């Protein structure tokens, strides 16, 4: 062997050792073997998809590894997802999708600095071609979000976690008119006492998102600091009259939306689509196959709903039985349970189920059911309460709605008095908004008659001229 050949061999051995170290350091555990994953924690539909994608990735190329990484990520196996993402890029040019998903995964692993580095690489990759070509489907919002602004929002959120508010604000500013980024800028401005800037930006945001109660909250805070009592009260009022939630962690929103592409998430999304197409029988068949393989509460809930739509109350009741045994019934599950029991003639049990639903979460719909099957006096009480809950819900959704005065209840129980107080509070607020001072004062007095400690009624009554 010549001296030159010896040098080349040494260089090759050094490079091979480096690659071996890199793979050993960054690509464990090996995803195709599904190493380290508890099979019992997954529904078989998800396990099968992971196994299928793992086999395909082992024999395929970068796109197969990338899809496997995404499947792992939406199932919460972020270390395996990271390994798959990186395996897909070995010896291949990095793609925007791979870099972006690695950023999402690192974000969920709590590695904020590394996530931001990957997001910046993804942005650079996107900028090297046409930015418009790169869009990320966010099914939860039924729209396409341009990659650039969304990524700058991710970066800003990580800067906040790293306690770098100035860098976070610069990142949010680069996100342009993305509403969730402008909202974060408003919060940072208020916290740093740049009140005039916060007021200007929040007013611009409210022109585009007038129903965002979070933005109204921060606009009210800014007005309070500025000493503008009238504006502060106006936006506090609007917090009561708006109900749109601005999602602030878009990484979570994207992963939840993308979960509908894989395994159990895909199967449930397809069953839901069948229900929307008014094909409950096909949905039931699909859901029965899933629940026979392994019981999961989300399958049971959707199966009960499908059976009620198909007028199969006994099957719906059976689907809810294990939820009951597992202690997993929420207020809407108890509502469905009552519907199913009434349909098979078990009226007393249905009433008990609806009363449990009311104890967990009182809504007009449940009171309405009880009103329909109760005796005269009890029916009237439930009807009054149902009307109040419906009026409150409409009052929050529709600013043009004029709430009706609550009906009268003789000797109300404490929980009934609380509902009556809420009803009169909405009436009082509507009169105050409309400038009917005397009527507002009378309505606040009636609210406080039923609930003397009603804090908002006490506060708003003081606002009256």
The CATH number for 195's domain is 1.25.40.10
- Candidates 111, 120, 57; CA nearest to 84 is 57
In a domain, 47, yes or no: yes
Pairwise CA distance, residues 406 & 170, whole Å: 50
Q: Are residues 108 and 191 in the same domain?
A: no
How many structural domains is the chain composed of?
A: 3
Question: Over the chain, what is the mean pLDDT?
Answer: 88
Q: Is residue 8 pLDDT above 60, yes or no?
A: no
pLDDT tens-digit readout, 296-337: 999 999 999 999 999 999 999 999 998 888 888 999 999 999
Pairwise CA distance, residues 315 & 304, whole Å: 7
In a domain, 195, yes or no: yes
User: How sure is the predictor about 6, in pLDDT bands with cuts at 50, 70 and 90?
Assistant: very low
User: How sure is the predictor about 14, in pLDDT bands with cuts at 50, 70 and 90?
Assistant: very low
Q: Are residues 102 and 31 in the same domain?
A: yes
pLDDT tens-digit readout, 213-265: 999 999 999 999 999 999 999 999 999 888 899 998 999 999 999 999 999 99
Q: Is residue 142 pLDDT above 80, yes or no?
A: no
In a domain, 1, yes or no: no
Q: Any idea what the CATH number is for the domain that residue 36 is in? A: 1.25.40
User: How sure is the predictor about 158, in pLDDT bands with cuts at 50, 70 and 90?
Assistant: very high
- Is residue 61 helix, strand or coil? coil
Q: Are residues 113 and 177 in the same domain?
A: no
Domain limits at 170? 159-251
pLDDT at 127: 63
Residue 291: Cβ-neighbour burial (10 angstroms; 0-12, 13-18, 19+): middle
Q: Are residues 28 and 121 in the same domain?
A: yes
- Final residue belonging to a domain, choices 108, 128, 148: 128
In a domain, 216, yes or no: yes
pLDDT tens-digit readout, 38-76: 788 899 999 999 999 999 998 888 999 999 999 999 999
- Final residue belonging to a domain, choices 251, 271, 300: 251
- Final residue belonging to a domain, choices 251, 272, 291: 251
pLDDT at 248: 87
Q: Are residues 88 and 42 in the same domain?
A: yes
Q: Are residues 380 and 464 in the same domain?
A: yes
pLDDT at 2: 53
pLDDT at 421: 97
Write down the pTM of the prediction.
Answer: 0.83
pLDDT at 146: 57
pLDDT at 128: 56
Q: Is residue 19 pLDDT above 70, yes or no?
A: no
Locus of tokens 């309460």? 385
In a domain, 441, yes or no: yes
In a domain, 329, yes or no: no
In a domain, 314, yes or no: no
Question: Residue 174 gets which letter from DSSP?
Answer: H
In a domain, 322, yes or no: no
């Amino acid at each position: 062997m010549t001296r030159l050949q010896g040098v080349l061999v040494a260089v090759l051995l050094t490079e091979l050792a480096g690659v071996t170290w890199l793979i050993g350091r960054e690509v464990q555990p090996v995803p195709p073997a599904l190493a380290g994953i508890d099979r019992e924690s997954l529904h078989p539909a998800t396990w099968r998809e992971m196994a299928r994608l793992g086999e395909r990735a082992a024999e395929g190329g970068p796109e197969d590894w990338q899809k496997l990484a995404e499947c792992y990520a939406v199932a919460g196996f972020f270390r395996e997802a990271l390994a798959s993402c990186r395996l897909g890029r070995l010896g291949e040019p990095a793609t925007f999708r791979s870099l972006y998903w690695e950023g999402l995964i690192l974000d969920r692993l709590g590695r904020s600095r590394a996530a931001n580095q990957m997001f910046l690489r993804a942005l650079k990759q996107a900028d090297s071609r046409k930015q418009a070509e790169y869009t990320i489907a966010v099914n939860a919002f039924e729209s396409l979000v341009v990659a650039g602004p969304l990524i700058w929002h991710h970066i800003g959120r990580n800067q906040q976690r790293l306690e770098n508010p100035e860098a976070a604000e610069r990142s949010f500013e680069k996100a342009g008119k993305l509403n969730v980024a402008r909202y974060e800028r408003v919060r940072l401005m208020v916290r740093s006492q740049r009140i005039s800037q916060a007021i200007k930006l929040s007013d611009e945001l409210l022109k585009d998102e007038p129903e965002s109660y979070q933005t109204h909250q921060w606009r009210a805070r800014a007005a309070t600091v500025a000493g503008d009592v009238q504006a502060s009260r106006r936006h506090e009022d609007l917090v009561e009259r708006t109900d749109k939630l601005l999602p602030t962690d878009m990484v979570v929103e994207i992963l939840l939306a993308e979960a509908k592409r894989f395994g159990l998430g895909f199967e449930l999304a397809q069953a839901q689509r069948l229900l929307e197409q008014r094909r409950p029988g096909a949905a039931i068949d699909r859901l029965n196959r899933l629940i026979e393989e392994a019981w999961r509460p989300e399958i049971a809930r959707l199966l009960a709903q499908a059976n009620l739509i198909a007028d199969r109350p006994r099957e719906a009741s059976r689907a809810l039985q294990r939820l009951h045994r597992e202690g997993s019934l929420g207020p809407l599950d108890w509502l469905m349970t009552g519907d199913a029991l009434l349909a098979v003639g078990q009226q007393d049990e249905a009433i008990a189920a609806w009363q449990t639903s009311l104890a967990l979460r009182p809504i007009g719909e449940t009171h309405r059911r009880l009103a329909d099957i109760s005796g005269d006096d009890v029916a009237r009480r439930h009807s009054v309460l149902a009307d109040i809950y419906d009026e409150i819900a409409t009052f929050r959704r529709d600013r043009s709605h004029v709430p009706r005065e609550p009906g009268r209840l003789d000797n109300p129980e404490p929980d009934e008095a609380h509902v009556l107080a809420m009803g009169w509070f909405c009436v009082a607020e509507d009169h105050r908004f409309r400038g009917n001072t005397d009527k507002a004062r009378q309505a606040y007095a009636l609210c406080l008659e039923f609930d003397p400690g009603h804090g908002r009624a006490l506060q708003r009554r003081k606002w009256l001229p």
